[in-house]
Amino acid sequence: MPQSFTAVTCPECRTGQEIPSATPTRCICCGAEIDAMPGKYMRVIPNHAGQHVEDEVSRHSR
């Protein structure tokens, strides 16, 4: 069975990356631990007005 990946933004340094779903992993940039359990971490996406809108990482799973 192929492993699924989740697109996340590191909560520490804001680096975007794909990590194995439901597997604690280290950020490729700063080394912070990221645990991509559905709904646990939020991704901040700038909207067109320059404000930030929070969007659940789990909605962007492959």
Query: What confidence score (pLDDT) does residue 8 get?
Result: 84
Query: What confidence score (pLDDT) does residue 41 get?
Result: 52
Listed as ranges, residues in the chain with pLDDT below 70 are 1, 36-62
Q: How would you write 1-52 as a 3-class SS string?
A: CCCCEEEEECCCCCCEEEEECCCCEECCCCCCEECCCCCCCEEEEECCCCCE
Query: What confidence score (pLDDT) does residue 1 get?
Result: 62
Query: What confidence score (pLDDT) does residue 46 get?
Result: 47
Whether the predicted model's global pTM rises above the 0.85 cut: no
